[in-house]
Amino acid sequence: MFHRFIVFFFLFGVVCSNATAQTRYRKLAPGVLEQIKPDIEEEETFSGPREIVELVADQKLNWNPNFTSKSNTLLAKAQSTTFRRQVWALEFGFKPMRMIEVDGQQVWYLLYYVKNNGMHKNPTPETDANGNVIHSNKPVNHTVRFFPNFILESHQLNRAYIDSVIPEAVAKIRRREDPNRKFYDSVSISSVPIKVSTPDEDNSVWGVATFTNVDARTDFFSVFVSGLTNAYRWQDPESFKPGDEPGSGRRYSFKTLQLNFWRPGDEIDPNEREFRYGLPTKAQLPPKKSVDELLSIYRVPERVDYQWIYR
């Protein structure tokens, strides 16, 4: 009987410890976090049909078989090939852009989390009623890693700032934002396996992107976040010829999240209360600045807070 009580209190302590771990974090006010759900398009799971240029350029493969049709030759198949791949994506949430002073320099920072909701797309070959091979994107759940790249672009100044790893800034931001939560920088977060979250278990991982030496004249800017998905596009050069190394001149572009911001202040005594998420309305535009000009510098077709692009 005594041993049963010990086991009971031990299990009770574990349950309470887990509950405390979930509730000890600082509670955020409603609407503070902006959340962007994963966005996987069907066409991102394949490329083509297109040529395999390394094979098509080899004229030695151009021959006429005697016992099968020419459409069954390697060259014919290489002229129209569909490349398929599994695609995963993460949920991204963030707080408004903020500022903090570290060792005498002003640091702009973006506090964020990434969350693995699972349901990634995996092209799976199947056979239909007529015996033809088709592919269906069956959802799969698996752990992923986040290898981020944050770039802050000042549009009107045509300047770009890469996320800097500043341990002192991360420590100070943690004390300010939530001392009980672990915040990773853009290097250390890549070492954390991001497990699939469920309604009963939130496996979100929190990080912080920091930018230094940002020109105080920056009013219209965007933060580009890559690494939230493995979706990509590629294009081969038309000039590929026999003897070239495989993949020579191949150009890749990766799916990237563009977050838009603006601030109505000037370079005199900048403060974080001036940051705004999204684009200004027509009434908020400064003098001599048109809506068309604004959309042009952000490279967006209309007023949007964020968009997915390939770059």
The pLDDT score that the predictor gives to residue 176 is 96
How far is it, in rounded angstroms, from Cα 222 to Cα 278? 9
Residues of the chain with pLDDT under 70: 1-23, 131, 133
Domain extent listing, the chain: 88-310
Write the pLDDT tens digit of every residue in 23-43. 588 888 777 899 999 989 989
Measured CA to CA, the distance from residue 84 to residue 50 in angstroms comes to 12
Rounded Cα gap, residues 206 and 91, in angstroms: 12
- Rg of the chain over Cα atoms, rounded to whole angstroms, equals 26
Instruction: Output the pTM of the full model.
Output: 0.86
Cα–Cα distance between 185 and 1 in angstroms, integer?
50
Structure confidence at residue 133 (pLDDT): 65
**Sign of torsion over alpha carbons 208, 213, 218, 221:** negative
